[in-house]
Structure 1
Amino acid sequence: MLKQLVVAVFSAVLVASPAKAAEKLRFAVGPFQPSASDTKKAYEPFFKHLAEKLGREYELVVTTDWAGIAVALANGQADVAWMGPWGYVLANSEGGAQAIATVKYNGKPTYHSIIVARPDAKITKWPEDAKGLRLSLADAGSTSGWLVPTHWFKTQGIDPKSYFQYRDGASHAAQVLSVVNDQTDLASDFDRNLNGLIERGTVKAEQVKIVWQSDPLPNDPLVVRKGFDTAMTKKIQDAVLAITEEEAKTLMPKNYTGWVANTHAGYKLIEDAGIAVGRLKPQQASK
């Protein structure tokens, strides 16, 4: 399944040291920012802090898509990853990766999938008023951009491929802009990303409106690969849980405020959605 989802496994941004490779912690992070360099800049302070707390050298890999990070964990190319919930569930089902913590955003360990439109879109009743419009979902490894809206449409008895002028496969960085630039009428995203685009001035709040929002979803997990050292896993978990809200202001991207402990059970609703849309078999789940 992962091989079917991945176009390119990953593009590496290495932060290496002269130490032996075996002594390094291999960190990975998903494509949370518009480019790999943006992601590296935003997330490296956290991983550098973590490595320093553990007294280890490290290298950091930024993946090009959401499923690629699951492949990296499954293939033993990464030890620890900050990734999306659906990518984590795939990594668990295919390679036995385990969540050890969930990130907090503005103090909460949850976020929402959203669908946005231009403010002049005449959509009062959703989704009836949007039937026949152009809909863009993100790549199939994305939780909020593909899995959650796809699952929601299924619960409503709607096939988005026939209900809308449908396309998928775009990055989150392109989704909102495709609406702003009139390349599509509707696009999936997640509320954190939209907030970030507005705060960075990439888009203006008045250029889009939210026409659909999911129930709360578990935020991004911090994940360790199958077979990773148990004692080191505990040290990593302790180190991230110790990050205060004040420390998070310099160690983590804007509005991220720390971590809470979690396990695979905390991502069951994501796993259930994957099973419901046929991208995950029940016997693959909960490894």
Structure 2
Amino acid sequence: MQRRSLMTLGSSLALSARGARAQAAPLRCAVGPFQPTAGDTRRAYEPFFAHMAAAVGRLLELTVTTDWAGIAVALSTGQVDLAWMGPWGYVLARDRARAEALAIVKYQGKPTYHAIILARPDLAIARFPEDAKGLSISFADAGSTSGWLIPHYWFKTQGIDPRTYFKYRDGASHPANDIAVASGQVDLATDYDRNFAAMVAAGRVREDQARIVWRSEPLPNDALAIRAGLDAALAARLRDAALAIDEATAARVMPANYTGWVAAAPDSYAMIEAAGRTLGRIGGG
């Protein structure tokens, strides 16, 4: 009887030790290249992730990826628990690694945004894309919603292959695309409205150095996503912590103009998934 009690006590202590180690494990987070440099991105987004880690009693381990698809890979391999990612990157992660969106970010109170195409202001483009045929264009990397997926999808609906219709290149960051147009390195470039506004507000480009020649339908904003298999209780606490961020807290812990989060539903990113299937980038295309 005494030996059984000692064995039971030993098992309990082992379970407690494992629980303590799990509790002490850092919250592994990731964010994509939202800012011109990795250092800029870290400075802008680290306070939010520190807030989330503190809310669940964990230390923070933050990775800043150099491309959007990198987060999907990190989620699929279990290297990341929580990620702030663009809509298309999230859809890729959901398709390939069963990632789950907890929430959709609000920007100036809205959970939607628009993809845009910028042009040099001196170009005579009255009708787009007819007047832009043969011009140079820079797309963002293939993991970007507004910088790659949605423009490619829209051109396909118009019967246009941008790789042959324009002098095509891709793989740039959004800030680099803005700067390339503003400096005359390319004629056209993809971006999204809130990034262009942020670049102008920060003085990185002037509003008169580029003009918008195309704008998409409203798109769902960035996702706060978790990897498949994350502890359900931890996932619920992370969701609650994000949804509890009000405008005052957002002003303190989130990048400028982000005002909080709304809950994500299973169909929140259905239009992004449909575009990905049409282009054959995810299953069902």
Do both share a fold (TM > 0.5)? yes
User: Which of 84, 99, 102 pairs up with 1:82?
Assistant: 84
Bigger radius of gyration, 1 or 2?
2
Output the CA distance in 2 between the equivalents of 1:260 and 1:20: 32
Over the aligned positions, Cα root-mean-square deviation in angstroms equals 1.3
2:268 maps to 1:266: yes
**1:214 maps to what in 2?**
216
The answer to whether the 8 Å contact 1:25/1:57 transfers is: yes
Output the CA distance in 1 between the equivalents of 2:266 and 2:122: 41
User: Which of 55, 58, 70 pairs up with 1:56?
Assistant: 58
Shift of residue 49, structure 1, vs aligned partner: 0.9
Give 1:1-287 correspondences, 5 Å limit. Answer: 23-282=25-284
Per-residue CA deviation, residues 103-152 of structure 1 (Å, 9 max, x unaligned), is 00000000110000122211111111111111111111111000000000
Output the CA distance in 2 between the equivalents of 1:250 and 1:196: 18
Q: Which runs of 5+ in 1 are unaligned?
A: 1-18
Which secondary structure state, in structure 1, belongs to the residue aligned with residue 152 of structure 2?
helix
Q: Which amino acid aligns with 1:245?
A: E
Per-residue CA deviation, residues 221-272 of structure 1 (Å, 9 max, x unaligned), is 0000000011111111111111111111111000000000003410011111
Shift of residue 281, structure 1, vs aligned partner: 1.7
Shift of residue 170, structure 1, vs aligned partner: 1.2
Which secondary structure state, in structure 2, belongs to the residue aligned with residue 69 of structure 1?
helix
Output the CA distance in 2 between the equivalents of 1:27 and 1:161: 35
Q: Which amino acid aligns with 1:171?
A: S
Q: Which amino acid aligns with 1:251?
A: V
**1:3 maps to what in 2?**
none
Question: What's the TM-score once normalised by structure 1's chain length?
Answer: 0.90
Output the CA distance in 1 between the equivalents of 2:231 and 2:272: 26
Shift of residue 20, structure 1, vs aligned partner: 6.0
| Identity rate, percent | 60
**1:6 maps to what in 2?**
none
Q: Which amino acid aligns with 2:148?
A: W
Output the CA distance in 2 between the equivalents of 1:249 and 1:25: 23
Q: Which amino acid aligns with 2:41?
A: T
Shift of residue 97, structure 1, vs aligned partner: 0.4
Output the CA distance in 2 between the equivalents of 1:271 and 1:58: 31
Question: What's the TM-score once normalised by structure 2's chain length?
Answer: 0.90
Tell me how many residue pairs correspond in the alignment.
Answer: 265
